[in-house]
Amino acid sequence: MSVKISFELKATDGKARTGVISTPRGEVRTPAFMPVGTAATVKAMMPESVRATGADILLGNTYHLMLRPTAERIDRLGGLHKFMNWERPILTDSGGFQVMSLAGLRKLTEKGVTFKSHIDGSKHELTPERSMEIQRLLGSDIVMCFDECPALPADRDRIADSMRLSMRWAERSREAFGDRPGHALFGIMQGGLEKDLREESAEALKAIGFEGYAVGGLAVGEGQAAMFDCLDYAPGFLPEDKPRYLMGVGKPDDIVGAVKRGIDMMDCVLPSRSGRTGQVFTRHGVVNIKNARHADDPRPLDAACTCPACANYSRAYLHHVFRANEMISGMLLTWHNLHYFQEIMAGMRAAIAAGTFDSWEADFHAQRAQGDIEPL
């Protein structure tokens, strides 16, 4: 792959941006929501079904894939795209966030992190160099720097030390990544909710130089108001001509608020995880399909939605198969949630291009505030 990955900013409306990330495996329209394919699958979905929802790019998980089936095995079998039958772009995270969440099972040093597998207790080491090697073996199009992400709240000294360690690791990641035409490396800004630390982190990353930049260390327990306060300034510290990725976000109103503040890419397990637990996101708010009020309801989840769950099945049926623990429940509700999230992204892209983002956002919130349709 000799073609470089590039980003073209097409239009802005306030801080909101729309553009295109061009890769050898296809274009990614921004703002983009990336469904999470943790273990080389978006749970309960076929890859072609994920594409049918409107997704241009998926996220794969370095930590989970290095443990099972291993990056080396995936490489021998032709790389992650072939392995999971997804020929469009894939972004892989670095494994840092998952290792952070192991807490008692890990040991952190300047070199990297040693940890015990949550699967079988075996010992592993993850360093910037090893993370870059794993992501190269996987063959992902967009690679993330290895970073350390402290859970919030944390004291300022802990956040500062962690951020500076992540910046040293970013430099090592850049060096280990090497020259890989057709692939991109994104740096990750840290600094918690401290404005000066965010700026220091951004300056360090820009000095190293990356093809894109993530805002990391949010959606880790700080709450929406604090996250939005940070996003009011953090994206502005990053280069305008590169994509900006908010990691691990989020609920529909989180996503809209992030795009309003200048974010181009997001990912979250929420639409798929919620689909498997009977929680459905609609333009009129959240529906819990497990509730008894749906048992005799012949209406669709959302009459305006064109996904298979809404086009072909009643609330009564979706309630029944969830209660009966049938596999089709998770399949249909996940498809619906992913379809709705991609519908939000398409709506924002069109509104930004037309210069009508504020009115689109007002309509979005007004519809959600109406709540679900009245029970029969």
Q: Is 140 annotated as a binding residue?
A: no
Q: How far is Cα 225 from Cα 230, in angstroms, rounded to an integer?
A: 9
Q: Sign of the CA dihedral 125, 129, 130, 135?
A: positive
334 and 276 in contact (C-beta within 8 Å)? yes
145 labelled ligand-binding: no
222: tokens are 């700080």
Catalytic (active site) residue 93:
yes
pLDDT digits (tens, 9 = 90+) for 259-313: 999 999 999 999 999 999 999 999 999 999 999 999 999 999 999 999 999 999 9
Which residue is listed with tokens 């965010």?
198
* pTM greater than 0.95: yes
Nearest residue to 85 via CA among 118, 37, 131, 127: 37
Residue 83 pLDDT: 98
CA distance 22 to 337: 26
From 249, 267, 285, the end of a domain falls on 267
Catalytic, out of 93, 141, 264, 302: 93
pLDDT of residue 96: 84
- Looking at the domain assignment, is residue 222 inside a domain? yes
**What are 227-258's pLDDT values in tens digits?**
999 999 999 999 999 999 999 999 999 999 99
- The overall average pLDDT reported for the chain is 96
Host domain of residue 243: 6-267
CA distance 274 to 263: 24
- What pLDDT was estimated at residue 3? 78
Catalytic residue among 254, 267, 302, 372: 267
Same domain, 239 and 326: no
Q: Does pLDDT of 151 surpass 80?
A: no
Mean pLDDT is lowest, of 68-82, 86-100, 186-200, for 86-100
In contact, 266 and 352? CB cutoff 8 Å = no
pLDDT tops 90 at residue 104: no
Give the helix/strand (H/E) hosting 172: helix 156-177
pLDDT(1) > 90: no
Number of domains in the chain: 2
Q: Is residue 372 part of a domain?
A: no
Q: Is 363 annotated as a binding residue?
A: no
How far the first Cα of the chain sits from its last, in Å, is: 57
Q: Is 155 annotated as a binding residue?
A: no
Do the annotations mark residue 217 as ligand-binding?
Answer: yes
- Please state, for a pLDDT cut of 70, what percent of the chain lies above it: 99
Are 141 and 40 members of one domain?
A: yes
Rounded CA gap, 168 and 170, in Å? 5
Residues 263 and 286 in one domain: no
The residue type found at 227 is M
Return the pLDDT at 210: 98
- Catalytic residue check, 155: no
95 is in an annotated binding site: yes
Annotated binding residue at 336? yes
pLDDT (0 to 100) of residue 310: 98
Instruction: Look at residues 219, 216, 262, 218 and name the one whose alpha carbon lies nearest to residue 241.
Output: 262
Residue 371 lies in a domain: no
Structural domain includes residue 375:
no
**113 within a domain of the structure (yes/no):** yes
* Same-domain check for residues 321 and 223: no
The answer to whether 141 is annotated as binding is no
The b-or-e profile of 1-23 (16+ CB within 10 A means b, else e) is: eeeebebeeeebbeebbbbbbbb
pLDDT above 60 (res 349):
yes
Is 121 marked as a binding-site residue?
Answer: no
Last residue of a domain, one of 245, 267, 289: 267
CB 309 within 8 A of CB 336: yes
What contacts 24+ positions apart, CB below 8 Å, involve 118-124?
Answer: 118/67, 119/67, 119/68, 124/66, 124/67
Look at residue 2 in the predicted model and tell me its pLDDT: 57
Give the span between the Cα atoms of 184 and 367, in whole angstroms. Answer: 38
CB contact at 8 A, 35 and 43: no
Mean pLDDT computed over 340-366: 98
* Residue 307 counted as an annotated binding residue: yes
100 neighbors 149 (Cβ within 8 angstroms): yes
Same domain? For 173 and 321 the reply is: no
Read off the tokens for 237: 């510290």
